[in-house]
């Protein structure tokens, strides 16, 4: 009975450790971006925020893997299946509980937070989210100064309340006074403690009213007004902000015919470069190897889109059959001047579709899938030239 929850916990931890290998390729991709920029003699900021985030992701998830396999499992993962799962689970649980200096729960929380930061940072390159994020980033700098002012005046009121209400349990230290007034500025306040102070009931109530007027009545409204005005000012140039963010990564993302696979494969598909990058960087004809790597990396995308297309077509077959069956039945009784066919011929067409309609639609589905796959591999697509009248 004891081993059952331990084994369940161990299975979940192992799934987390398996998934932890995937984010490691974000750090590897940063190195590939640097290599690509150096080959094409392009400017790249190796210590940009995105690069630091990727290396931080690499370090945190690699630490989680090392703690799981080296510290907690103590090498028993190499003896599988000689060492059964229940024994390995007990090994892991014992070392997990006996670690006084390592909090794996905190490490997992950091892993989740840092990955969400990476996701939100990636959204800045989206056409719609990038505009909003560009505005928020510029507003944040202005709001930060206002927040510093808010903290300073909160400290001032905390020092005053500590001197005036020493007997009140929520104000007898600077930290407690600061915490109490911080909650009060958010609307969670009470007059009970300060009414019993040695300064008198009215003094405490007057102090709290002055504090609430200054914070809730004035500072909070100023804060809302600042955000509204800044958003209106910056929203006029939101397209410019989004294009500026896109242009920042153009040097290391603009593809070429010889080495573009270094930057085109997203994590974790860039694991292919562990095997193919040495051949690509040392080949006399890198274009052919580059196309080969891109084709291999394109296969998962092709399979995913093909499966979605097939499911969509299969779901449409019964709907199309019902719709066409009803349409051909109505056409039997409808007279058309442009399509002069006897009612008997229309009825025969309706009966033929009633019997062979599903077979015809199924054949059409396979035909559509064939042409879909054919178009997925077309490379020499005709480029249309459009002239703009300025």
Report the alpha-carbon distance of residue 209 to residue 117 in Å, rounded.
Answer: 40
The dihedrals phi and psi of 214, each to the nearest 5 degrees, come to -65, -40
H helix runs in the chain, sequence order: 3-19, 24-39, 49-66, 85-97, 104-122, 129-164, 174-185, 192-195, 201-212, 220-235, 238-248, 250-253, 261-264, 273-282, 286-333, 343-376
In the chain, the percentage of residues whose pLDDT exceeds 70 is 88
Of residues 163 and 363, which shows the higher confidence score? 363
Tens digit of pLDDT for each residue in 132-141?
Answer: 777 777 788 7
pLDDT score recorded for residue 387:
53
Q: Going by C-beta distance under 8 Å and a sequence separation of 6 or more, which residues neighbour residue 43?
A: 37, 251
pLDDT score recorded for residue 341:
72
Poorest-confidence range of 159-163, 252-256, 318-322, 324-328? 252-256
218-226 own/partner pairs: CB under 8 Å, 24+ apart: 219/150, 219/153, 219/185, 220/185, 222/146, 223/143, 223/146, 223/150, 226/142, 226/143, 226/146
Cβ(205)–Cβ(90) below 8 Å: no
Cβ(215)–Cβ(158) below 8 Å: no
pLDDT score recorded for residue 266:
81
The closest alpha carbon to 317, from 364, 372, 370, 369, belongs to 364
Tens digit of pLDDT for each residue in 266-281?
Answer: 878 888 888 888 888 8
pLDDT score recorded for residue 389:
52
Poorest-confidence range of 19-23, 144-148, 383-387? 383-387
In the chain, the percentage of residues whose pLDDT exceeds 90 is 4
Of residues 130 and 16, which shows the higher confidence score? 16
Report the alpha-carbon distance of residue 253 to residue 262 in Å, rounded.
Answer: 9
Report the alpha-carbon distance of residue 280 to residue 257 in Å, rounded.
Answer: 12
pLDDT category of residue 336 using cuts at 50, 70 and 90? low
pLDDT score recorded for residue 250:
67
- Is pLDDT of 384 > 60? no
CA distances from 154 to 83, 172, 222, 227, 295 (A): 60, 16, 16, 20, 60
The closest alpha carbon to 287, from 261, 265, 252, 254, belongs to 261
Q: For the beta carbon of residue 350, count every other beta carbon within 10 angstroms.
A: 19
**Domain ranges, ordered by start, for the chain:** 3-125, 130-246, 283-376
pLDDT category of residue 116 using cuts at 50, 70 and 90? confident
Report the alpha-carbon distance of residue 201 to residue 192 in Å, rounded.
Answer: 9
Q: What is the mean pLDDT of the chain?
A: 79
Cβ(226)–Cβ(220) below 8 Å: no
Decide: helix, strand or coil at residue 315.
helix
389: which DSSP letter? -
H helix runs in 99-128, sequence order: 104-122
- Is pLDDT of 45 > 80? no
- Is pLDDT of 307 > 90? yes
Q: Which residues of 251-266 are buried (b: 16+ CB within 10 A; e: fewer)?
A: bbbeeeebbbbbbbbe
pLDDT category of residue 306 using cuts at 50, 70 and 90? very high
- Is pLDDT of 251 > 90? no
Q: Going by C-beta distance under 8 Å and a sequence separation of 6 or more, which residues neighbour residue 257?
A: 287, 290
Highest mean pLDDT among 38-42, 83-87, 279-283, 338-342: 279-283
The predicted model scores a pTM of 0.61
Half-sphere exposure (CA, 13 Å, Cβ side) for 217? Answer: 7
Tens digit of pLDDT for each residue in 154-205?
Answer: 888 888 888 887 777 788 888 888 888 888 887 777 777 777 666 777 777 8
pLDDT category of residue 345 using cuts at 50, 70 and 90? confident
Tens digit of pLDDT for each residue in 208-220?
Answer: 888 888 887 777 7
Q: Going by C-beta distance under 8 Å and a sequence separation of 6 or more, which residues neighbour residue 13?
A: 68, 92
The closest alpha carbon to 117, from 60, 63, 67, belongs to 60
Distance of CA 39 to the CA centre of its chain: 30
62: which DSSP letter? H
Cβ(209)–Cβ(189) below 8 Å: no
Report the alpha-carbon distance of residue 200 to residue 168 in Å, rounded.
Answer: 12
Poorest-confidence range of 149-158, 274-283, 326-335, 338-347? 338-347
pLDDT category of residue 36 using cuts at 50, 70 and 90? confident
pLDDT category of residue 390 using cuts at 50, 70 and 90? very low
Decide: helix, strand or coil at residue 33.
helix
Q: Which residue has the tokens 């779901």?
A: 315
Mean pLDDT across the stretch 350-357?
Answer: 86
pLDDT score recorded for residue 56:
86
Q: How many residues does the chain have?
A: 390
pLDDT score recorded for residue 1:
42
């Amino acid at each position: 009975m004891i081993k059952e929850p331990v084994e369940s916990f161990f299975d979940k931890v192992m799934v987390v450790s398996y998934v932890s290998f995937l984010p490691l390729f974000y750090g590897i991709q940063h190195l590939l971006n640097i290599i690509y920029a150096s080959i094409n003699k392009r400017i790249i900021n190796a210590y940009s925020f995105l690069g630091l985030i990727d290396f931080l992701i690499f370090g945190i998830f690699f630490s989680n893997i090392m703690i799981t396999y080296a510290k907690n499992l103590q090498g028993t993962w190499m003896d599988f299946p000689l060492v059964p799962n229940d024994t390995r689970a007990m090994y892991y649980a014992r070392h997990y509980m006996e670690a006084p200096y390592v909090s794996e729960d905190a490490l997992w929380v950091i892993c989740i937070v840092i990955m969400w930061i990476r996701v939100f940072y990636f959204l800045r390159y989206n056409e719609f989210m990038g505009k909003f994020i560009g505005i928020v980033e510029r507003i944040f700098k202005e709001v930060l100064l206002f927040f510093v002012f808010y903290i300073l005046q909160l400290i001032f009121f905390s020092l005053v309340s500590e001197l005036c209400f020493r007997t009140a349990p929520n104000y007898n230290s600077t930290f407690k006074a600061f915490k109490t007034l911080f909650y009060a500025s958010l609307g969670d306040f009470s007059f009970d403690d300060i009414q019993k102070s040695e300064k008198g009931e009215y003094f405490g109530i007057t102090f709290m009213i002055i504090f609430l007027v200054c914070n809730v009545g004035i500072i909070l409204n100023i804060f809302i007004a600042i955000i509204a005005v800044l958003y209106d000012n910056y929203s006029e140039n939101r397209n410019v902000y989004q294009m500026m963010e896109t242009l920042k990564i153009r040097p290391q993302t603009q593809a070429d015919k010889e080495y573009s696979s270094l930057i085109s494969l997203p994590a974790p598909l860039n694991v292919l470069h562990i095997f193919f990058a040495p051949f690509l960087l040392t080949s006399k004809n890198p274009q052919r190897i580059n196309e080969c790597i891109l084709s291999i990396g394109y296969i998962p995308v092709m399979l995913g889109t093909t499966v979605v297309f097939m499911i969509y077509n299969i779901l449409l077959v019964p709907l199309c059959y019902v719709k066409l069956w009803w349409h051909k039945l109505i056409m039997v009784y409808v007279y058309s001047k442009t399509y002069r066919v006897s009612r008997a011929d229309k009825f025969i067409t309706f009966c033929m579709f009633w019997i062979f309609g599903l077979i015809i639609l199924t054949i059409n589905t396979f035909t559509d899938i064939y042409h879909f796959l054919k178009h997925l591999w077309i490379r020499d697509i005709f480029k249309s030239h459009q002239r703009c009248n300025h």
